[in-house]
Chains A and B, each alone.
Chain A
């Protein structure tokens, strides 16, 4: 590739780079989004939470279209999947075609061959194992979509948490769908009646009430 000046300068470029490449980024976001739909509240790094937010809200928009919509179904099928093994090396013979008959992978869909390499006499197959979470698709259409029917947008809430305790001290965020059953992140603000100003105001209101009552009695 030509080493241009444009390559070195990234002024104004807003798209984030995550993982090993664009495909890796989408896989990572897919995993996070599946976790969010399953648990309704997750903790990740700040950048990943910010990226997933867009996809989480778009997924709800598609889910609102309904069960019968083909596009919505395709979106749900694509996004509610978890990548189990990426680029899993498997030494197989050339005539091997059936999936691995192990109980561990009985509910997996190992039907995605990315590409196969041939090293001399033996052959290695590179493939990624996706695991589709079949129970989350009805949850998306029957629980999350009706929950946000009245709202046009803003289905998620993101708040920053103190940095991770690890050596990397990564900036973390908690991302949740609104209306989840868990305790709220920011408890409702309650006015403290015992502050000076509030006590003075209370006394003033009581005085006014007394005066009004006295006026009514005299009349």
Chain B
């Protein structure tokens, strides 16, 4: 390389370095406003703002609402409608009654057995009503039901005895 070329290179690099130092130190900055605007335009105007902040109308939302994209085919519809959710629910709490064998629900008394008990209770009540004669004649005594050829025992001393000529049913045991 020639001497003049070297001198030029040196000069250029020194100028560059000087420029970088001036930039770094901030001596190149001019204290002048970046933007000058006419007064009234710079201040915010309240009327414009209130118009801008009103809620977008309903029609603007329409473009963002959910809608089905495709028609549901009859196969898909059938699968949904005939799923277990819409069918009658299966009951697995049905069992046969131990006494009579009729079906009953686990938490409910057997209908057949209860009907027998209800009829017998109604018969006993009919007899009690006949014994009492009218309303407001309930005695202040316990009641005991005795069937055909049964005699009152030790515990039945102070009780009102309701006698019937029928045979004692097998499910109405004496305690």
Contacts and interface: CB of A to CB of B under 8 A. Distances in A.
Interface stretch (A19-27, A53-61, A180-188): A180-188
B23 interface: no
Interface stretch (B30-38, B45-53, B58-66, B106-114): B106-114
Contact of A181 (B99, B114, B139, B142): B142
A86 interface: no
The range of chain B's interface size is 20 to 34
B56 to A, nearest CB: 28
B2 interface: no
A159 B169 CA distance: 22
Interface in B121-149: 121, 124-125, 136-145
A183 B141 contact: no
Interface residues of A, number: 29
B18 interface: no
B162 interface: yes
A107 to B, nearest CB: 7
Interface of B: 98-99, 107-109, 111, 113-114, 117-118, 120-121, 124-125, 136-145, 162, 169, 171-173
Interface of A: 38-39, 41, 43, 107, 133-136, 138-139, 141-143, 147, 159-162, 174, 181-189
Given A107-B136, A138-B140, A183-B117, 9 more contacts: A159-B109, A160-B108, A181-B142, A182-B120, A183-B120, A183-B169, A183-B171, A183-B172, A184-B173
